[in-house]
Amino acid sequence: MVVVQDPSVVSRARSELTLQQAQDEVDQWIKTIGVRYFDEMTNLAQLVEEVGEVARILSRTCGEQSYKKGQAPGDLADELADVLFVTICLANQSGINLTDAFHQNLNKKTGRDAVRHQENPKLQSESHSEALSGDTENDEST
Ligand SMILES: [Mg+2]
């Protein structure tokens, strides 16, 4: 496999990048190197695959799963970038402006969850396991 290093891409990647620039950059990449977009169902499968790769890494680094002997640890940043790339592909081919969608989504969450998380006792503890053990003790439904 030949990796082409375009210096303009590298310098742009190290500076700030707007969502619109990311959408434009992915679109340009798809139409040149990628030939065309995969159809939406294929990209959905790709998205699920990439999310699975993120899950695999996190289950072994933050979760209780272990690595098999000789298994490479994986690169969480690279896998999250894969998730972002496919998400952008789906947005581009669906005519979605991710900047607008992100702001609308954050406004929705802010309105919906204005006090929800502040009133969540599970979030009052610094430790996730403390919160879980405290939750179990107080959970009368089980
Ligand atoms: Mg990947």
Mean pLDDT over 103-125 rounds to 94
Task: Identify whether residues 29 and 79 lie together within a single domain.
Answer: yes
**Range of the structural domain that residue 75 is part of:** 18-96
3-state secondary structure of 112: helix
Q: Ligand 1 centroid vs 117 CA: distance in angstroms?
A: 32
Question: For the residues of 22-87, what is the DSSP string, one character each?
Answer: HHHHHHHHHHHTS-SPPPHHHHHHHHHHHHHHHHHHHHHHTSS--PPTT-----HHHHHHHHHHHH
pLDDT digits (tens, 9 = 90+) for 3-23: 555 555 555 556 799 999 999
Residue 89 CA to ligand 1 center (angstroms) comes to 15
- List the shell of residues around ion ligand 1, using CB closer than 5 Å: 50, 53, 79, 82
> Are 82 and 30 in the same domain?
yes
Looking at the structure, do residues 80 and 118 belong to the same domain, yes or no? no
Please, what's the largest Cα pairwise distance for the chain?
Answer: 60
Domain membership of residue 5 (yes or no) is no
Q: Do 31 and 60 belong together in one domain?
A: yes
* 105 part of a folded domain: yes
Centre of ligand 1 from the C-alpha of residue 58, in Å: 13
- Taking the CA of residue 137 as centre, how many other CA atoms within 13 Å lie in the half-sphere pointing to its CB? 8
Task: Answer whether 0.85 is exceeded by the pTM.
Answer: no
Tally of structural domains, the chain: 2
- Any domain includes 11: no
